[in-house]
Amino acid sequence: MPACTLRIAEPKDIEALAKLHVAVWRDTYRELAPPDAFAALDVPKRISFWRDKFAHPAVSQGIFIAEVGGELAGFSLASGSSNPEFGDMAEIKFLYVSPVFKRQGIGRRLIDIAATHLIAEGYRSAGLGVVEGNEPAIRFYRALGGLEAGRYNDAGPLWRSPNIIYSWPDISVLTL
């Protein structure tokens, strides 16, 4: 695994987060998302999204960055869930790793820091939604012991994607 530094994201990271978010989203969903959603996603929209996340954080929100050689390699966002399908579980809302750095342990480290944060915030269980058909992510979450716990349609704003909820009743299994 490359030398990787994890840290809490800061507002100064917004542009880099937006660029990576768009790049990874387009790479991941190129075969799954409808063309109109794919065309609508751009860096300015994600800059606005990330500004809002920093200005109006969700309950217990933590945004974490992985860097390799000063380059943004991935990020995660975890918080209390506002999605009713998650019940009282915390939610890992995002886990994105640059295609350049995939399969090098960075996603695992980002899950660890997100879970550690959620435990410190008082959560005992967590879940996340993964788009149906995103087989690499599904394999990853299953390998981490994720249990299928339901399904829902994402509210958007770009695409009402069908999602599978993976859960960890004991979030401590996600920590290294």
Q: What would the DSSP string read from start to end of 97-135?
A: E-GGGTTSSHHHHHHHHHHHHHHHTT-S-EEEEEETT-H
Quick one: pLDDT at residue 126?
A: 97
Residue percentage of the chain with pLDDT more than 90: 84
DSSP 8-state secondary structure symbol assigned to residue 86? G
As a whole number of angstroms, the distance between CA 89 and CA 175 comes to 16
- Give the pLDDT score at 2: 63
What are the φ/ψ torsions at residue 156 (nearest 5 degrees)? 110, -155
Rounded to an integer, the average pLDDT of 124-129 is 97
Whether the pLDDT of residue 15 is over 60: the answer is yes
What tokens does 41 get?
A: 């996603």
Q: Tell me the mean pLDDT in the region 6-29.
A: 96
Are 91 and 79 spatial neighbours (Cβ–Cβ below 8 Å)? yes
The pLDDT confidence band at residue 156, using thresholds 50, 70 and 90, is: confident
What is the CATH superfamily name and number for domain 5-124?
Answer: Gcn5-related N-acetyltransferase (GNAT) (3.40.630.30)
Per-residue pLDDT tens digits for 138-148: 999 999 999 99
Amino acid 170: pLDDT: 97
Q: Which pLDDT tens digit goes with each residue over 75-96?
A: 999 999 988 999 999 999 999 9
Judged by DSSP in three states, 44 sits in helix
pLDDT value at 65 more than 70:
yes
Q: Where are the domains of the chain?
A: 5-124
Which residues are 65's β-sheet partners?
7, 75
Separate counts of helices (H) and strands (E) for the chain: 5, 7
Instruction: Please tell me the predicted confidence (pLDDT) of residue 1.
Output: 54
Q: Which of the four pLDDT bands, split at 50, 70 and 90, describes residue 22? A: very high
Stated length of the chain = 176
Greatest alpha-carbon span in the chain: 40
Rounded distance between C-alpha atoms, residue 164 and residue 108, angstroms: 19
Q: Which residues pair with 95 in a beta bridge?
A: 76
